[in-house]
Amino acid sequence: MSKILIVDDDASIVSSAADIMRTYSFDTISATDSREGFRLAVSENPDVIILDWMMPNYNGLQFLQEYRAQGFTTPIIFLTGKGDLPEYQVEALRDGADTFMSKPYNPSVLVETVRTLLRRTNYEVDSVSKSGTGANRHIYQDGELIIDCDAMQVFKHEESCNLTNREFQLLQYLEENKGRVCPRSELLKQVWKYDFLGDERTVDVTIKRTRQKIEPDQKNFKYILTRRGFGYFFPKDLT
């Protein structure tokens, strides 16, 4: 049974979300204190985290930043106030959220978003277990960049880049289609799947965040290039 962590300082929202999750046979753990929620996120190894932004003392963005900085890649659904959605969307995605929802949310949409994130995670685990050891370790520029599809990790000179699930999926998709410009609309469809209802700026934000982690020179990008007005591509002639 998949375990869902719900973190929100509003006890009524926690109770409602937990009831919804249990109705659909998910196991739930929860916290109305953000630091307690962080402790649970580290110790209980949840499959998906539903995280509120506006919490006192230690808000959702601080939680997200620290969690990702420690290398955790558990999918996170970020809850935002509807009026602040455009600003919060960009900031949350930049710091490692997988998707976001505005409050009050639709229970059916919340459940399907959780299911989609779980399906994607399970597919990735299955893919890793079925692939041969070392067979999908792609090395560029004498180890300057290493994309390990079996481990679902990216390294710069053997040091982990600590990509989130979404960042890794985006880079992997571009590499699989190396030499071909991928429009933003295609990336939204193929990487974000149907659980995401945002606009194409989301791709730009995630590209920027991924570049910050993998590119050796932030003024001259080598691995994720832009074709202005069209989209992004991974160069075909890199060795």
- The pLDDT tens digits for 143-200 are 899 998 877 889 998 888 988 888 999 999 999 999 999 999 899 888 877 445 556 7
Per-residue pLDDT band at 119 (split at 50, 70, 90): confident
Whether 95 shows a pLDDT value over 50: the answer reads: yes
Peptide bond into 104 cis (omega under 30): yes
Give residue limits of the domains in the chain.
Answer: 3-125, 132-233
Q: Which helix (H) or strand (E) holds 107?
A: helix 107-130
pTM exceeding 0.85? no
- The pLDDT tens digits for 207-226 are 999 999 999 999 999 999 99
Whether 135 shows a pLDDT value over 80: the answer reads: no
Domain 132-233 class?
mainly alpha
Residue 216 exposure: Cα atoms within 13 Å on the Cβ side: 11
pLDDT on residue 137: 83
137, 146 Cβ separation under 8 angstroms: yes
Nearest Cα neighbor of 223 from 203, 207, 204, 205 is 207
pLDDT on residue 85: 58
Is CATH 3.30.420.40 what the domain over 3-125 is classified as, yes or no? no
